[in-house]
Amino acid sequence: MLTDAPSPESHRAGLRGRLAAVTSTEVVAALGLGGVAIAALLPAGGIEDGPVLCPFRALTGLPCPGCGLTRSWVYLMHGDLGSSLASNWFGPLLIAVVFVLAVVAGRARLARKRPAELDKLVRKPIVLGLVAIFIAYGAVRLVLTAAGVIPAI
């Protein structure tokens, strides 16, 4: 009988330890990269004809700050920056954020360090400022759409 073989319990404990080491930054980066990949696979031609997925827009007919992000990502992944910005100004910025998070997490792991948790990154003044601008952008777009100045997206 071999005495050096790991028990099934120690194998499961080691696996849980490795999974617990995954940070929120890595999870968000992975989900974001998945979203970018899906946006690249969706056809840009029929993206305007899809169903309304936003609960706020479905109830009110008015756009929320995030309305148009899916279309923005699809257009950008197909090389149409103008349509991407017309759908939502923050689409290209959020794709850049996803890539930055992936690079930050990847560099930390290559250096055998644990990437920072996302809540620590979000507390940075520049991130808080971008969130405030995102909400203000959504509010202005909502008011202009409700007033009929700009068309509903």
Q: How many domains does the chain have?
A: 1
* Structure-token pair, residue 15: 């696996």
**What's the rounded Cα separation, in Å, for the pair 53 and 44?**
17
| pLDDT-based confidence at residue 80 (cuts at 50, 70, 90) | very high
| pLDDT-based confidence at residue 100 (cuts at 50, 70, 90) | very high
pTM for the predicted model, two decimal places: 0.77
In a domain, 10, yes or no: no
Question: Is residue 71 within 8 Å of 88, Cβ to Cβ?
Answer: yes
Which residues span the domain enclosing 60? 23-43+55-146
Residue 116 falls in which region: left (phi positive, over 0), alpha (psi -120 to 50) or beta: beta
Q: Residues 19-64: pLDDT tens digits?
A: 458 899 999 999 999 999 999 999 998 888 878 888 988 898 888 8
Q: How far is CA 88 from the centre of its chain?
A: 14
Say which amino acid occupies 5.
A
In a domain, 137, yes or no: yes
In a domain, 83, yes or no: yes
Radius of gyration of the chain (CA): 21
| pLDDT-based confidence at residue 13 (cuts at 50, 70, 90) | low
In a domain, 125, yes or no: yes
